């Protein structure tokens, strides 16, 4: 779910490379210590709120839609959060660099469901892609998945065993942060599916 194209966003991203690098350099000191990854950060609501709550952790967001990415970067810049980076990349093009990093948490929230069966390979939770995502977890790390789409959640439940994931219990976070989409969904009374995985 993406909004209209915002013409100011490409130049804004270019003007703030410390918040939105064009590529991921695993040797950058930013990636030392505790790391959290969000794949598909949208307009940055979840990532920016969570980064503000946890200044001791470094957060990396990936958002392939340039308008959404620009909006997220603007939030991070205005909040003056040095522990956050949001890159205008999709997971597949970033994976080679991400392989050299280790994340204690990975968040996949409300990804595009790609509802047509012939488009299943494009889903973030397609088994082969989900296996790659899980491979980035540090020992004891967790992947959190959220969606409002019943069919995508059913597909996720079929996919995670094939990807080498294990469903785990996780308490509902006391410091809950939500994206703009989730805030709207919940205000409309929509049911939200949530699940946590660890790598087997």
Residues marked as catalytic: 112
Alpha-carbon distance 47 to 81, whole Å? 11
Q: Which one-letter DSSP state was computed for residue 53?
A: H
Cβ partners under 8 Å of residue 118, min gap 6: none
Alpha-carbon distance 65 to 43, whole Å? 9
Catalogue the E-assigned strands of the chain. 35-39, 58-62, 84-87, 103-109, 137-147, 165-168, 193-199
Task: State how far the alpha carbon of 86 is from the alpha carbons of 91, 186, 197, in Å.
Answer: 12, 25, 23
Find out whether 70 and 8 touch, Cβ atoms under 8 Å: yes
Catalogue the E-assigned strands of 14-136. 35-39, 58-62, 84-87, 103-109
53-80 per-residue burial string, b: 16 or more CB within 10 A, e: under 16: eeeebbbbbbbbbbbbbbbbbbbbbeee
Q: Which one-letter DSSP state was computed for residue 28?
A: S
């Amino acid at each position: 779910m993406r909004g209209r194209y915002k013409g100011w966003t490409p130049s804004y991203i270019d003007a703030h490379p410390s918040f939105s690098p064009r590529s991921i350099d695993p040797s950058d000191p930013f990636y030392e210590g505790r790391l959290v990854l969000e794949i598909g950060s949208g307009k940055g609501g979840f990532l920016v709120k969570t980064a503000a709550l946890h200044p001791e952790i470094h957060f990396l967001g990936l958002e392939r839609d340039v308008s959404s990415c620009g909006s997220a970067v603007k939030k991070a810049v205005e909040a003056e959060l040095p522990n956050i980076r949001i890159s205008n990349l999709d997971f597949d093009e970033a994976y080679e660099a991400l392989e050299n990093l280790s994340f204690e948490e990975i968040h996949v929230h409300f990804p595009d469901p790609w509802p047509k069966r012939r488009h299943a390979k494009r889903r973030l939770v397609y088994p082969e892609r989900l296996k790659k995502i899980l491979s980035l977890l540090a020992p004891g790390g967790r992947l959190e998945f959220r969606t409002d789409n019943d069919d995508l959640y059913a597909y996720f439940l079929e996919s995670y065993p094939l990807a080498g994931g294990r469903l785990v219990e996780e308490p509902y976070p006391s410091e809950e942060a939500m994206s703009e989409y989730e805030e709207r969904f919940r205000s409309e009374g929509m049911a939200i599916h949530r699940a946590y995985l660890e790598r087997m």
